[in-house]
């Protein structure tokens, strides 16, 4: 079951009122960096680009981009996928309200099934910490607790599978951009735990874990640069660029270029 299958949870999660300032500022920082990437790829291609948004959520990125003509005009098509029907429905509503259906399409699709996708893209994005939501198959939110053996995330097969498949969909010179990724440090873990607790969820992880999860089925992984490079073993490490999105090591952006 997707984390955002419940409509009320979707509305609560995407509302600014419930978000801590750290997350609000991180998502604006990722948006600013994303605009730069779009312009850079369009210039490199010398033409408009095709974008795939994995985990489109509430279509926030598309809604913001369409208000900036200088950037929006560089985008030929904008496809979005989500494995939660509540998010697909919400995104389609936003697309209609913004009158962008001529360019934006939203699909109900699990990110782990991109191998049968018959399109290619110049830019594939996943934003607002979505890259850290891909937990390994078989993880039990009901049984994992502070007494359980700790989960070894030296490898995350789900994460690696999703982005290897996404990489295969890139045109030469294209890029994958992981927007906000949590930096793996204790201060970030505490912020994650506080956020979930304020949403009346029950945290099942602790300081020994490199992810924060709740009994209600929410999962947020934290990353180091070294771990990301290890996960992205199918890419030359020289084509992976990490950019800090703040000055206090809360979030980072990852760019993965295909030659």
- What are the structural domains, with CATH classification, of the chain? 7-257 (3.40.50.150)
DSSP string of 158-217, one letter each residue: HHHHHHHHHHHTEEEEEEEEEEEEEE-SHHHHHHHHHHHHHTT--B---TT-SEEEBTTS
- Note the pLDDT tens digit of each residue in 109-135: 999 999 999 999 999 999 999 999 999
Interval 249-253 mean pLDDT: 97
- Spatial separation of the C-alpha atoms in residues 5 and 87, rounded to whole Å: 7
- Note the pLDDT tens digit of each residue in 216-250: 999 999 999 999 999 999 999 999 999 999 999 99
Q: Give the per-residue pLDDT at 1.
A: 45
Question: Strands (DSSP E) along the chain, which ranges?
Answer: 49-54, 75-82, 104-108, 121-126, 170-183, 211-213, 219-223, 240-244, 251-257
Interval 135-142 mean pLDDT: 94
| 65: Cβ contacts below 8 Å, ≥ 6 apart | 35, 38, 71, 72, 75, 78
- Spatial separation of the C-alpha atoms in residues 237 and 146, rounded to whole Å: 35
Lowest mean per-residue pLDDT among 2-16, 102-116, 125-139, 196-210: 2-16
Q: Give the per-residue pLDDT at 120.
A: 98
- Pick from 232, 240, 201, 231: which is nearest to 218 by CA? 201
What's the mean pLDDT when you consider all of the chain? 93
Q: Give the per-residue pLDDT at 18.
A: 77
- Note the pLDDT tens digit of each residue in 151-169: 999 999 999 999 999 999 9
Which own/partner contact pairs does 96-105 have at CB distance under 8 Å and 24+ positions apart? Answer: 98/59, 98/62, 98/63, 98/66, 100/62, 100/63, 100/66, 103/66, 103/75, 103/76, 103/77, 103/78, 104/59, 104/62, 104/66, 104/77, 104/78, 104/79, 104/80, 105/77, 105/78, 105/79, 105/80
pLDDT band (50, 70, 90) for residue 19: confident
């Amino acid at each position: 079951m997707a984390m955002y299958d419940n409509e009320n949870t979707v509305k609560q999660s995407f509302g600014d009122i419930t978000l801590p300032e750290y997350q609000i500022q991180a998502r604006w920082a990722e948006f600013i960096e994303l605009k730069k990437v779009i312009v850079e790829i369009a210039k490199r291609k010398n033409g408009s680009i095709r974008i795939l948004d994995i985990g489109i959520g509430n279509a926030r990125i598309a809604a913001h981009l369409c208000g900036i003509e200088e950037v929006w005009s560089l985008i030929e098509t904008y496809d979005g996928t989500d494995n939660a029907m509540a998010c697909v429905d919400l995104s389609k509503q936003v697309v209609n309200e913004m009158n962008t259906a001529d360019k934006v399409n939203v699909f109900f699709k699990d990110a782990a099934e991109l191998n049968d996708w018959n399109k290619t893209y110049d830019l594939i994005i996943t934003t607002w910490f979505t890259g850290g939501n891909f937990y390994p198959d078989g993880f039990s939110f009901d049984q994992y607790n502070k007494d359980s053996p700790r989960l070894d995330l030296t490898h995350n097969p789900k994460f690696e599978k999703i982005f290897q498949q996404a990489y295969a969909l890139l045109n030469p010179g294209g890029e994958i951009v992981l927007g906000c990724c949590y930096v793996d440090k204790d201060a970030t873990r505490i912020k994650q735990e506080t956020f979930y607790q304020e949403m009346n969820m029950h945290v099942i992880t602790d300081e020994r874990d490199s992810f924060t999860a709740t009994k209600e089925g929410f999962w947020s992984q934290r990353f180091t640069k070294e771990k990301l490079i290890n996960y992205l073993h199918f890419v030359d490490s020289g084509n992976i660029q990490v950019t800090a999105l703040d000055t206090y090591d809360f979030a980072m952006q990852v760019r993965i270029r295909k030659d």
